[in-house]
Chains A and B, each alone.
Chain A
Amino acid sequence: MKNESFLWTATKTGLLGGAIAVFLCLIGMVEIFTKRFVIEDVLTLGQFILLATSAVAGYIAPRQISTTNEQNKPINRLVAGAIAGLCTGLLLTIFVLIGNKIDIRAVFLNASPALYDILTLQKGISNAWVLTALGAVTGLIGAAFLLLPSTVQRPIYRGLLVLVFMALFSGVFRVVMVSQGGEWERTAKYLFGQTGMTTNGTIIFVGITILWTLLWSAKGESVKANYSRVPKTGKISIRVVLFALLAFAALGLPRVSGPFIAQVIVIISLYILMGLGLNITLGFAGLLDLGFVAFYAVGAYTVGLLTSYGEFGLQHIPFWVSVPIAVLVATLFGAFLGLPVLGVRGDYLAIATLGFGEIVRLLAGSDFLAPFFGGPRGIIGIQKPCVGFLEPFLKVDVPRICNGIELGQPQDIYYIAVASALLVAFVAWRLRESRLGRAWMAIREDEDVAEALGVNLIQTKLLAYMLGAAFAGLGGAIFTVLIGSIFASSMQLIISINVVALIIVGGMGSIPGVIVGAVVLIGLPELLREVSEFRYLLYGLTLIVMMLAKPEGLWPSQAAKRELHHSAADAD
């Protein structure tokens, strides 16, 4: 009886792994990833993810058994792992055999001959059973990994992580390094292939990681102890040096990295701006706003209308003057939208704001208001920011000439965006510690109690909406000059959802959390443009997995941590 459940658990895990592997095949991931290498000419990303599923199945299966059963003997674990891996491989084999008999391509586009070639390693259908064997072997390896002592496990694990990370981002590193020319270019070509790493690069990076992990596990404790013995002034000066280095790197980065990286960082900064804004409304005051993009749109349109040299430009004033106006208008708009929803709570608030956001987008993009906002044609010809003297406006569709430095490229906008993000982070941080910040948090915890304690609900809530809107408006203003045009169709609900998601993933109410969330949810997908086919698939998966594994966020605030530990007890 016991033996049966042992077999069954392993089989179940394996079949689940197999189902995932078949799923990856059917959505086309395996085929597309096969065009990319992890290690050049050795291992493709497609092969890697398939091997990884069976290895993970082999790794997980024995663990599940050992919790349900007491069969912890190494041989049992190995057998369980092998069975799980075998089942994973078996499912893939069956998939190949079925696909060869029946043409399922009419339904699943990706079940193509090319896919079967990949799965059978180009050797034809007779080779299908090799998949099963390969699954069993990787499953066994997965299980064997579990048996290793943790001192050996950790370096291997980290080495693998670094390998995958470097392989995924190798394109980015390579482009940046090659653009420097000379020695840099040669190093890049030595370490990175066209896609993925070279064998040499793999050995170097994985080797360094393994060595580092081993060294740290041996000496890490004493380093920490030494650091804690450094006097306080010394610690401060270490931090100052680190900070100066970081600032120096931040200043120089766009010059070195080229427009692509700069643009990615600008976009991250914009989401940080919006994230910090919504963090006030949602994170501090607990008001869920799903129409946040409206404020962003207001900021963008204000700058657009005030500075554009196109047909919809109204004032032709410099960017620097238009930004404070945009922020002001967004703030007023925050009050305007905030006023009617003051009494609305919880989910209803989320839906009402979602409605507002959509109305703003639909109106801005409609022919009804086209004489003012350009309708579906949008506003184009937005004047780039200019440091120096701007020649007067002559006529429509002719940009004003900038006597000085024109900040036209993403590398230039970078400085505006990063500086604004830093400024806003500072403001948000000071706000949180202020009387107002405490009032917001009181409202978040319990509106009625807060009111009883003398918090002016109307004023406090309105301020939350207004300040949140102000930050988003600033984001919109910068976005406008980055792109140089505005289209209502880009003000989609998905932007609001992205902002909410990055706050939750980062850690609600936490300012560093917003930054981490923006980098992870916005930055990484932007950098991984090459796998853009699966960008939103992975994005969705990340959201689910994050919520399952770490609902308090990657960098939670202290209060949220405490809250989540209690919430299970008093959840209603």
Chain B
Amino acid sequence: MIVLGTYFTIRNGKYTGEQWTDFVIFGVAQGSIYALIALGYTMVYGILRMINFAHGDIFMTGAFGGYFVAYWLNGTGFIDANPFFGLVIPILFAMLVSASIAMLVERIAYRPLRDAPRLVPLISAFGASFFLEYAFRGFFGPGKYAYPPIQALTGDWIILGVKILKVQVVVAVAAFIMMAALYFVVMYTKAGKAMRAVSENKDTAALMGIDVNRVIVSTFALGAAMAGAAGVLFALVYRQVDFFMGFTPGVKAFTAAVLGGIGNIPGAMVGGLVLGIFESIGPSLFLEGLGIPRAYQLKDAIAYTMLVMILLFRPQGILGERLSKQKA
């Protein structure tokens, strides 16, 4: 059916090559945000075998943190004067906010339940998710906040003959830098080594003199920092911040993590990109050819269909291998 839809769409020729490139680039920008969030899911799952359902809301807290700094900087005219720092400072602050909140959540809602049956921390995570959402609704009200635009990032660049929105380029580049940094930390630093050791086997790692608690906290903090940065990037693209914004990207990012093979860090990155691109081109490419009206409404359905398909036919994900033999 997908093939058929694709065939008809391409034959109809409703979209030009340029539009397809637009779709793909938007998908990359969107996907890199998913990938950043997905990293947090994957790292926590890798270590605790636990779905941190509140992670989407950690992303939201970061967006709020970034928003208020950006708003303040915008008021003083700082952003227009130094667009680079106008972007970086909110991101750093958002990372700080998200990491601190994630550490609090871990301490209060997860740590005491580490040895409980698996459903117990999951329910606690649902609780933490609601709590964060509605605490922020209490703090900042139910309205939507408009993220201040960065003048230098409006308009588009022409790269290799293709017109690309500046924001999308910046978002994708920023996300890739963050991911590269994270990859470096996990693969080449002592702390990263400790993380990988704990995710292999907690008890053995403890015997090797690793402070497991500290590693778990730093994993939460690191994953949350990525989500916080993603929050600001998301706000840059969509221009709005509200208390419920974490839910859908959270579920999507989880899909991305599963897609790439949960517990696998490069997998989360690949999964995010694949999901973003499919979501972006999918409705037009697969569905419109079949004569489905307003196919963009089914964008999310494509994401979930991919999720289900992956789980049924390749549960270890695109890159994952380690978990395939284990009982999930």
Contact = CB atoms under 8 A, between A and B. Distances in A.
A368 B139 contact: no
Contact of A340 (B127, B141, B312, B327): B312
A368 B131 contact: no
B308 A363 contact: no
Interface in B271-314: 287, 292-295, 297-298, 300-301, 304-305, 307-308, 311-312
Nearest to B308: A355
Nearest to B71: A106
B139 A351 contact: no
Contacts of B134: 534-537, 540
B139 A108 contact: yes
A288 B119 CA distance: 9
Contacts of B88: none
Contact of B131 (A533, A540, A547): A540
A42 interface: no
Contacts of A350: 51, 122
A518 to B, nearest CB: 15
A504 B121 CA distance: 11
B251 A27 contact: no
Interface residues of A, number: 58
A74 B260 CA distance: 60
A537 B294 contact: no
B113 A551 contact: yes
A356 interface: yes
Contacts of B126: 497, 500-501, 540, 543
A344 B315 contact: yes
B148 to A, nearest CB: 14
Q: A352, A501, A535, A563 — which one has the most chain B CB atoms within 10 A of its CB?
A: A352
A548 B308 contact: no
A366 B115 CA distance: 43
A28 B139 CA distance: 7
B198 interface: no
Contact of A547 (B116, B129, B295): B116
Contacts of A345: 327-328
Contacts of A363: 298, 301
Contacts of B8: none
Interface in A326-351: 340-341, 344-348, 350-351
Given A108-B139, A355-B311, A533-B138, A508 B119 contact: yes
A444 to B, nearest CB: 11
A381 to B, nearest CB: 24
Given A26-B138, A551-B113, A362 B120 contact: no
A394 interface: no
A109 B300 contact: no
B164 interface: no
Interface string A361-373: 0110111100000
Nearest to A547: B124
A323 B20 CA distance: 48
B124 A110 contact: no
A544 B294 CA distance: 41
B311 A362 contact: no
Interface in A528-559: 533-537, 539-544, 546-548, 551
Contacts of B287: 368
A185 interface: no
Given A110-B138, A345-B327, A534-B138, A567 B297 contact: no
B120 A504 contact: yes
Main secondary structure of the interface of A (DSSP, over half): helix
Contacts of B161: none
B298 A366 contact: yes
B109 interface: yes
Nearest to A111: B139
Interface string A17-60: 00000010011110000000000000000000000000000000
A344 B139 CA distance: 41
B119 A541 contact: no
A522 B116 CA distance: 25
Nearest to B75: A106
Interface string A389-415: 000000000000000000000000000
Contacts, number: 169
Contacts of B84: none
Contacts of A534: 134, 138
B176 interface: no
B158 to A, nearest CB: 36
Contact of B108 (A348, A355, A544, A546): A544
Contact of A367 (B122, B137, B251, B293): B293
B139 A346 contact: no
Contacts of B119: 288, 500, 504, 508
A148 to B, nearest CB: 30
Interface string A73-115: 0000000000000000000000000000000000111100000
Nearest to A544: B127
Given A348-B311, A501-B123, A368 B133 contact: no
Contact of A344 (B128, B294, B312): B312
Nearest to B72: A106
Main secondary structure of the interface of B (DSSP, over half): helix
Contacts of A501: 123, 126-127
A250 B98 CA distance: 49
Q: A350, A535, A563, A568 — which one has the most chain B CB atoms within 10 A of its CB?
A: A350
B155 interface: no
Interface string B250-274: 0100110010000000000000000
Contact of A543 (B127, B139, B258, B327): B127
A363 B123 CA distance: 28
Nearest to B117: A567
Contacts of B23: none
Contacts of A348: 258, 311, 315, 328
Contacts of B307: 351-352, 355
A544 B109 contact: yes
Contacts of A27: 135, 138-139
Contact of A540 (B116, B130, B254, B297): B130
Contacts of B305: 355, 359
Given A341-B312, A367-B297, A110 B120 contact: no
Nearest to A28: B138
B117 A542 contact: no
Contacts of B294: 366-368
Interface in B100-122: 108-109, 112-113, 115-122
A551 B113 CA distance: 9
A359 B298 CA distance: 9
B78 interface: no
A362 B300 contact: yes
Contacts of B118: 346-347
5 contacts: A109-B140, A110-B138, A350-B122, A356-B308, A551-B113
Interface of A: 23, 26-29, 107-110, 288, 340-341, 344-348, 350-352, 354-356, 358-359, 362-363, 365-368, 493, 497, 500-501, 504-505, 508, 533-537, 539-544, 546-548, 551, 563-564, 567-568, 571
Given A352-B311, A571-B115, 19 more contacts: A23-B135, A28-B138, A347-B118, A350-B122, A355-B308, A365-B297, A366-B294, A500-B126, A501-B126, A536-B130, A537-B130, A537-B138, A540-B131, A540-B134, A543-B126, A547-B127, A548-B109, A548-B124, A567-B117
Interface of B: 49, 51, 68, 108-109, 112-113, 115-124, 126-135, 137-141, 251, 254-255, 258, 287, 292-295, 297-298, 300-301, 304-305, 307-308, 311-312, 315, 327-328
